[in-house]
Structure formats: structure tokens, C-alpha cells
């Protein structure tokens, strides 16, 4: 930019720019065009997705969270459509040739990634919370299923206003339901966008899981109206740093790609885990009061993690003279948690019947080695009595060892962000066999998960398998889901082993028989879905009889109706599992019936249950890859719904081993449209991300030794597509997959012997 004269200090200057932008694809962000159908008519609407750095695709700006400004949006759009943005409409003006100009109110000072705009002919339903107008926008067929989300918006605003003690700062809040969005939902200030499945709920046809997804999504996004929008994290400085980026909450950002890496699910999980841990140390009421003061002190501003630790420090000095951080500075406690990769493992050594010694260690799962001189300041929560809800706290610092007396279990509610490794699991095993409900569902789930992870990392051998025998008494989803995932690994590594199947059935069949009940029953929906998918895949006869009978009745009762009608008596929460297993193990016409129903189904929530069911097809005999390619036609890469293609690819690769040879054989054909588009525009980050995600799936998912060898041939294609850094990451993912399997392959004889001995003990009456 060249100016005519010197710019004077302290004076404001206005810069006018003429610019143009392109309409992008939904996966690209910026302004994108999406489509939907009304009868036989295809309609279009324009929507935006600015996070992480896509506002610069729409208009010239300093596109980082720390550069906040106020914005006034003016939109010229076809008359008959509606323009929606972050704020209320200020004015509308009719223009020539059937165009309308809509001007919006000036926004609060805000970051560019929170701007939003839609130009649409969607309808809406409306309500009010205090003086705030609430609306949910959706295509006409979906509007009747938006009422639950509208009521939930009001409840969420009421909850957060009370929690933060700050009124919602805008005069309206819109929720825009869209089928094609590259994220599940986005917290644009005053205009949340979300995929349909996270908005729509029908009491008759939606499952309890569907309802929970809507609950969690809306409460999450509305929380951002305060924490994220009213106050916003500043990106760290652009200096040099050799620290690895994985799950570091304060990474040094150098490039645009590193900004994108900062918006990842690992960061969310670690941030949430650390907040939960700190809240348990300080106490709920104290933490809430600190958060209220913190947000009020930084409203409309940017913050870094040190601002929060400083707020905690000041609050402790003002309100709590009994420092719960054991007299330590909050900054010193939190610094390693936010700046170091990973998390500690608490090593527990039994000294005698009443005494334990605990210390911390840092374990690298890839190298299977402990890392020296990497420590945290760790709040260790523990319970002295399994029947008591009271938890105590002790601090671990540096490499010191602490002795504890009369400890029943460490970190029982998973308040602390760390693993716990016991040198002896006998006490926990005894408790689980006597009364497993003495440990809550979270404790049981995390105990199993951590033990199998320790087995994978060669710290344990058969101990997790022995402890898991208690689970035939389980009725909760969390522990059963963990077991099913690890049992699948064993089944891949030791295929068609009758002793392994007897072990699995010994644990899971009693659970299945308890929760199976009637096909229309909604109780235990999620655990029933898990068990149906797994036990049928392991060809348990009662499971196969159950799903094939249910699907046969479905074909009779819904022959001339949509599957979303009342003719379908299968409980919504298990439909996907029944469809999938009936297609996989039933006659060929099961696939044809479901394929036909998918193509005419009008209800999106039902389509999303049918689609994974279609993918359940087994590619055997003369069918080979034909059915797979028929399904691919449903999400042709020429359409706008590339996200469905990626879902199909990932679901196939992740859930059906027999499909992988087909996927590998067809890889170049299936990826070709995206490869060509990417090579045409190497700067298209989202297209690259799509291809990378699909390819990475092939490397990441555990598979057989035979298919791992096929990946060696697949490498040739990968090198054509990906630059060296990305190719290196895919190979690392493949190494993780190999490690998962080799943790079992490497001790295959040991595990085969264990399952053989298990069957002998079972037959001799040594196991109940």
C-alpha cells in the first residue's frame, strides 16, 4: 500500500478496498453454497464458516482472534430470500430487478472467526427468553423437529446467565440447521450453525443418543457465547519453539497450518480435563466465583492461559486463606500441564496390606519407554473406603515418592488428568467380582481402558483379561464399549479362535440376554446397539436370530412405507445395528430393500441410520466390490456432499475388515476426483485435509497382517498425493495401527494359551 504523504501519529484513517470472493465448497470454509431438495426441486442457500482462518476468504481482514473489531454487514440478495447474520436486521431496502439490500446492526467488538452469514429461503420457529429473540432455522421438512432445540436454547441461556452472572449480551440468538458443514457445529456469536443431526429431535423416531447429541451440542455452543466469544483466547506469539504440538494447550504458532492444528479435538479434551481437575481442587463454588470475576474483568478482550491462573491466584488471596494448592503458586502448578505434551502416569507400589507408595512417571507409548526428567505437579485424588463417596487429596511433586495408608482406589471419578498403574490389581479385582457397583461406571470404564492400554504398552499381559471376567454382571455402556473395542483387536490378531470366542461370549452373552428384551423397547439403547454390532459380527446365533427376525418383520410391515413411519417398530437407538447386521448376514434382498428405502427416505435422521446399515454389506462371492461401488454412487464426488463420501470411506475402513481389500484395490479410482482437484489447486487446504483424512484412515485403523502388507503397495499412491511431511504423518499412524496389533501378535502364543486355559477352567467349573 502506498500513501501520498506521511501518516500522523494518533490519528484514525479509513481504508476503502474493492475486493471479490469466490463461493467455496462446504469443506473449504468461507462463503459456501449448500443444496437441499423440496420434492423434485433442488434449492440452494449460501452459508459461511469462518473458523479457523477463513474470514480472509470473504473480505480483507487481520484474521486472528486477537484482532477484534466491530462489524456492520450489508448484503444484497435475491428478493424472497432471507439474510441472517450475527445481529438483528437494521433495515431492508427493495432494489431493482428483484434484489433486496439487508443491513444488520453493528456487532459487539469481536474476532473475525465468529462472523456468520446465511442467505436462505429456510423457514423458522421462534420463541423469546427475557428480551432475547430465539429462532431455529431449517428446511421445511425439518422444521417440525426443531421444537426441542428451541426449548433447549432457552434453558441453556438461563443456565449460563446464572452460572457466569452475566446476561447474554445480544438481542437475538439464531440456530441454523444445515446438512453440509465441515464441523459438527460452530459458535458464531448470535448465529450458531450446526449439522442437522445436532439440531433435529423427534420423540417418536429419534433415539436417546440422538437427544443426548442435541443436548451436548447446544449447551457446548451456547457456553461459547461467554467463554470464547465474550472473552477470546489470544494465539501465542510467532516465535521459534521446538516443542511438539500434540495436545499442548499453549503451542507457539508460526504458520497458518499450525493455527488450524490448534483447533483440534485433542485440545478440547485436554482443556476440559484440566478445567475439571482444577475445579475439583478448588471446589465448585469457588471455581464458579473465580470464573465470574475472570470473565467480567476481560469482557470483549483477549486472554491467555496465564490470565486465568492469575485470576485463580487473586481469588485464593482474597477468599481462601487455606490454599488448596498446598501453598504453591497456581502458575507453578499449571505451567507443566499447559506447556508440556502428554500427561503423567501414577505408579502405585504395594508395600504391605495397608500402605502404598506412589510416584509419577512419564511414559511414551510409541517407544514404550519412560521419559526421564519430565514431571508435573499432580493432585492425586483417592478414596480410603470403596463404600464412601469422600475423596482425599495429596500432591505429587517432581520425582518424589509419597506413602499413603488405607487407600482403596486412586482417581476413582477420573478427576485427575493422569493414568494410574498398580503393581497389583488383586484388590480391585476382588471388589469388582463381589460388588462391581462399589465403583461407579466411570471408574470401571477407566480402569478397564487403562489396563488394556498398559497391556498394549507391554506393562501388563493377561491381567486385564482376568479382571474383565467380572463384566458378565455389567449393565452399563461405558465398560462394555471398552471391552468390545479391545475384544475386536484380539479377534483380528487371533482370527476364528474358538477359545477366544468362548471367552468373549462368556462375558457378553449374559449382558446381551439381560438387555435384549423387545425390539421396540428403548431402555439400554446404546449398550444394545454395541452388543448387537459386536456379537452378531462374532456370529453369536441368538444375536443373528434376533436381528434377522426383526428385519424380516420390518420388510413385511414397511414394504410400501418409509422406514421413518409408524410401521417400523425397531427402537430408533438400535436401528443402525439391526440394519447393518441384517444386510451383512441376511439374504441379498436385504441390501436391495434397504438401498431402495434410503433413496426415497425423506427424514434425515432415518437416512443417517440406513446409510451405515447399507455399508454393513459383506463383500463375498460374486458380489465382490459391486455393492460397495453402488453405495459410492449415493455420494458421488461430483455432488456437494463430500463429507458423506469421507464418512463412507472411514466407516468402511474402520468397521469391516472384509472391505479393506476392496478399498485398497479401488483407492485410486475413488480418490481420483479429489486428487485431480488438489493437484489443480495445491493451496486448497481443506481439500488437502479431506484427502489426508481419507488416506490417514487407511493407515490408522487396525487391520490384519495381510492387509498391512497391502499398504506397502498403497504407499506408492500416497507418495503421489501427499507432500513429505504429510506422508510421514500417515506412516506414523500406520505404525500406531501396527503397534496395536503387534502388542497382541508379539505375544500371540501367550494369549492363545490363556484362552485355551480359560476354556479348561470354565469346563472344570473353576469359573462362574
- For residue 357, give the CATH number of its domain: 2.60.40.1910
Q: Is residue 493 part of a domain?
A: no
| Cβ neighbours of 238 (radius 10 Å) | 11
**pLDDT of residue 586 exceeding 80:** yes
- 765/679 Cα distance (integer angstroms): 64
Which SS3 state, helix, strand or coil, does residue 125 take?
strand
Backbone angles phi, psi at 356, to 5 degrees: -125, 150
**Average confidence (pLDDT) over 262-278:** 72
Q: What is the pLDDT of residue 363?
A: 84
Give first-to-last CA distance, the chain, whole Å: 81
Which SS3 state, helix, strand or coil, does residue 190 take?
coil
- 195/175 Cα distance (integer angstroms): 10
Distances in Å between the alpha carbon of 745 and those of 452, 703, 705? 15, 12, 9
**Average confidence (pLDDT) over 499-516:** 93
Q: Is residue 438 part of a domain?
A: no
- Domain boundary pick from 681, 698, 722: 722
**Average confidence (pLDDT) over 698-726:** 55
The grid cell for 262 is 490448534
- The structural domain count of the chain equals 5
Find how far residue 232's CA is from the centre of its chain.
22
Q: Is residue 533 part of a domain?
A: no
Q: What is the pLDDT of residue 623?
A: 46
Q: What is the pLDDT of residue 259?
A: 41
Which SS3 state, helix, strand or coil, does residue 558 take?
coil
The grid cell for 304 is 491467555
Whether residues 53 and 170 share a domain: the answer is yes
Q: What is the pLDDT of residue 158?
A: 97
Q: Please tell me the least confidently modeled range out of 266-275, 334-343, 674-683.
A: 674-683
Whether residues 185 and 276 share a domain: the answer is no
Q: What is the pLDDT of residue 491?
A: 87
Q: Is residue 477 part of a domain?
A: no
Whether residues 550 and 601 share a domain: the answer is yes
Q: Is residue 171 part of a domain?
A: yes
Whether residues 361 and 406 share a domain: the answer is yes
Q: By the 8 A CB rule, do 474 and 480 touch?
A: yes
Whether residues 45 and 155 share a domain: the answer is yes
Instruction: Name the residue among 133, 145, 72, 59 with its Cα closest to residue 108.
Output: 72
Q: Is residue 47 part of a domain?
A: yes
**Average confidence (pLDDT) over 70-98:** 95
* pLDDT tens per residue across span 103-149: 999 999 999 999 999 999 999 999 999 999 999 999 988 999 999 99
Distances in Å between the alpha carbon of 237 and those of 240, 241, 254, 270, 614? 9, 10, 8, 21, 48
- Domain boundary pick from 400, 424, 448: 424
Share of the chain above pLDDT 90, in %: 48
pTM, whole model, 2 decimals?
A: 0.83
Q: Is residue 66 part of a domain?
A: yes
Whether residues 245 and 379 share a domain: the answer is no
Whether residues 99 and 224 share a domain: the answer is yes
| Eight-state DSSP code of residue 95 | E
Whether residues 108 and 85 share a domain: the answer is yes
More confident residue, 688 or 331: 331
For cell 479431506, the residue is: 690
Whether residues 208 and 256 share a domain: the answer is no
Whether residues 59 and 196 share a domain: the answer is yes
Q: Is residue 391 part of a domain?
A: yes
Q: Which domain holds residue 646?
A: 621-722
* pLDDT tens per residue across span 209-265: 899 999 999 999 999 999 999 999 875 432 222 233 334 444 443 344 444 444 445
For cell 488438489, the residue is: 678
Q: What is the pLDDT of residue 654?
A: 45
3-state secondary structure 706-765: HHHHHHHHHHHHHHHHCCHHHHHHHHHHHHHHHHHHHHHHCCHHHHHHHHHHHHHHHHCC
The whole-chain average pLDDT of the chain stands at 82
Q: What is the pLDDT of residue 245?
A: 35
- 479/347 Cα distance (integer angstroms): 23
| Eight-state DSSP code of residue 142 | G
Q: What is the pLDDT of residue 54?
A: 83
**Average confidence (pLDDT) over 590-619:** 80
Whether residues 225 and 257 share a domain: the answer is no
- Domain boundary pick from 194, 212, 231: 231
- The winner for highest mean pLDDT among 254-258, 578-582, 654-658 is 578-582
* pLDDT tens per residue across span 171-220: 999 999 998 887 889 999 999 999 998 999 988 888 888 999 999 999 99
**pLDDT of residue 449 exceeding 90:** yes
Residues known to be catalytic: 221
Whether residues 256 and 195 share a domain: the answer is no
Amino acid at each position: 500500500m502506498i500513501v501520498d504523504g506521511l501518516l500522523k501519529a494518533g490519528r484514525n484513517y479509513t481504508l476503502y478496498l474493492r475486493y471479490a470472493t469466490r463461493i467455496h465448497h462446504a469443506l473449504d470454509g468461507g462463503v459456501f453454497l449448500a443444496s437441499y431438495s423440496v420434492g423434485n426441486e433442488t434449492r440452494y442457500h449460501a452459508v459461511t464458516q469462518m473458523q479457523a482462518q477463513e474470514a480472509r476468504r470473504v473480505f480483507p481482514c487481520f484474521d486472528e482472534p486477537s484482532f477484534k473489531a466491530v462489524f456492520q454487514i450489508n448484503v444484497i440478495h435475491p428478493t424472497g430470500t432471507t439474510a441472517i447474520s450475527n445481529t438483528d436486521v437494521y433495515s431492508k431496502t427493495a432494489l431493482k430487478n428483484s434484489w433486496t439490500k439487508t443491513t444488520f446492526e453493528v456487532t459487539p467488538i469481536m474476532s473475525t472467526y465468529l462472523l456468520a452469514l446465511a442467505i436462505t429461503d429456510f423457514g423458522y420457529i421462534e420463541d423469546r427468553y427475557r428480551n432475547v429473540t430465539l429462532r431455529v432455522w431449517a428446511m421445511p421438512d425439518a422444521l417440525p423437529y426443531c421444537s426441542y432445540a428451541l426449548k433447549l436454547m432457552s434453558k441453556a441461556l438461563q443456565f449460563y446467565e446464572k452460572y457466569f452472572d452475566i446476561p447474554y449480551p445480544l438481542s437475538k440468538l439464531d440456530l441454523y440447521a444445515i446438512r453440509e458443514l465441515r464441523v459438527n457445529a460452530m459458535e458464531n456469536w448470535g448465529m450458531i450453525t450446526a449439522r442437522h443431526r445436532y439440531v433435529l429431535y423427534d420423540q417418536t423416531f429419534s433415539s436417546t443418543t440422538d437427544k443426548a447429541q442435541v443436548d451436548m451440542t447446544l449447551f457446548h455452543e451456547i457456553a461459547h457465547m461467554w467463554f470464547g466469544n465474550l472473552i477470546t483466547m489470544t494465539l501465542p506469539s510467532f516465535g521459534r519453539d521446538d516443542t511438539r504440538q500434540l495436545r499442548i494447550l499453549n503451542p507457539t504458532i508460526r504458520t497458518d497450518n499450525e493455527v488450524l492444528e490448534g483447533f483440534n479435538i485433542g485440545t478440547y479434551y485436554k482443556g476440559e480435563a484440566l478445567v475439571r481437575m482444577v475445579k475439583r481442587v478448588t471446589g465448585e463454588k469457588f471455581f464458579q466465583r473465580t470464573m465470574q470475576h475472570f470473565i467480567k474483568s476481560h469482557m470483549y478482550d483477549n486472554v491467555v492461559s496465564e490470565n486465568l491462573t492469575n485470576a485463580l491466584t487473586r481469588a485464593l488471596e482474597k477468599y481462601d486463606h487455606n490454599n488448596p494448592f498446598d501453598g504453591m503458586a497456581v502458575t507453578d502448578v499449571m505451567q507443566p500441564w499447559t506447556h508440556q505434551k502428554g500427561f503423567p502416569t501414577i505408579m502405585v507400589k504395594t508395600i504391605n496390606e495397608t500402605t502404598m507408595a506412589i510416584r509419577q512417571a512419564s511414559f511414551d507409548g510409541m517407544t514404550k519407554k519412560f521419559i526421564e526428567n519430565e514431571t508435573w505437579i499432580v493432585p492425586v485424588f483417592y478414596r480410603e473406603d470403596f463404600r464412601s463417596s469422600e475423596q482425599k487429596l495429596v500432591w505429587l511433586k517432581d520425582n518424589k515418592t509419597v506413602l499413603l495408608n488405607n487407600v482403596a482406589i486412586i482417581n476413582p471419578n477420573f478427576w485427575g488428568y493422569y493414568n494410574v498403574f498398580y503393581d497389583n490389581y488383586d484388590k480391585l479385582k476382588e471388589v469388582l467380582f463381589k460388588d462391581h457397583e462399589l465403583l461407579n461406571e466411570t471408574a470401571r470404564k477407566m480402569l478397564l481402558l487403562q489396563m488394556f492400554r498398559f497391556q498394549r504398552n507391554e506393562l501388563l499381559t493377561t491381567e486385564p483379561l482376568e479382571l474383565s471376567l467380572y463384566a458378565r454382571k455389567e449393565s452399563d455402556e461405558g465398560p462394555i464399549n471398552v471391552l468390545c473395542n479391545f475384544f475386536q483387536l484380539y479377534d483380528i490378531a487371533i482370527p476364528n479362535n474358538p477359545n477366544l470366542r468362548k471367552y468373549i461370549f462368556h462375558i457378553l452373552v449374559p449382558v446381551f440376554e439381560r438387555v435384549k428384551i423387545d425390539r421396540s423397547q428403548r431402555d439400554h439403547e446404546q449398550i444394545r446397539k454395541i452388543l448387537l454390532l459386536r456379537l452378531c459380527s462374532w456370529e453369536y446365533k441368538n444375536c443373528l436370530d434376533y436381528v434377522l427376525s426383526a428385519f424380516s418383520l420390518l420388510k413385511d410391515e414397511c414394504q410400501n412405507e418409509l422406514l421413518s413411519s409408524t410401521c417400523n417398530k425397531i427402537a430408533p437407538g438400535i436401528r443402525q445395528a439391526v440394519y447393518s447386521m441384517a444386510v451383512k448376514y441376511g439374504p441379498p434382498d436385504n441390501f436391495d430393500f434397504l438401498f431402495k428405502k434410503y433413496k426415497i427416505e425423506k427424514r434425515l435422521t432415518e437416512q443417517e441410520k440406513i446409510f451405515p446399515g447399507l455399508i454393513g454389506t459383506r463383500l463375498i462371492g460374486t458380489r465382490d466390490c459391486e455393492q460397495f461401488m453402488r453405495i459410492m454412487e449415493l455420494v458421488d464426488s461430483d455432488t456437494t456432499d463430500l463429507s458423506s463420501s469421507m464418512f463412507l470411506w472411514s466407516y468402511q475402513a474402520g468397521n469391516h475388515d472384509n472391505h479393506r481389500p476392496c478399498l485398497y484395490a479401488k483407492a485410486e479410482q475413488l480418490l481420483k476426483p479429489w486428487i485431480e482437484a488438489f493437484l489443480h489447486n495445491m493451496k486448497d487446504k481443506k481439500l488437502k485435509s479431506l484427502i489426508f483424512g481419507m488416506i490417514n484412515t487407511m493407515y490408522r485403523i487396525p487391520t490384519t497382517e495381510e492387509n498391512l502388507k497391502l499398504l506397502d503397495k498403497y504407499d506408492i499412491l500416497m507418495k503421489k498425493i501427499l507432500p513429505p511431511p504429510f506422508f510421514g504423518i500417515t506412516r506414523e499412524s500406520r505404525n500406531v495401527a501396527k503397534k496395536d496389533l503387534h502388542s497382541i501378535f508379539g505375544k500371540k502364543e501367550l494369549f492363545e494359551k490363556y484362552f485355551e486355559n480359560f476354556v479348561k477352567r470354565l469346563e472344570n467349573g473353576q469359573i462362574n
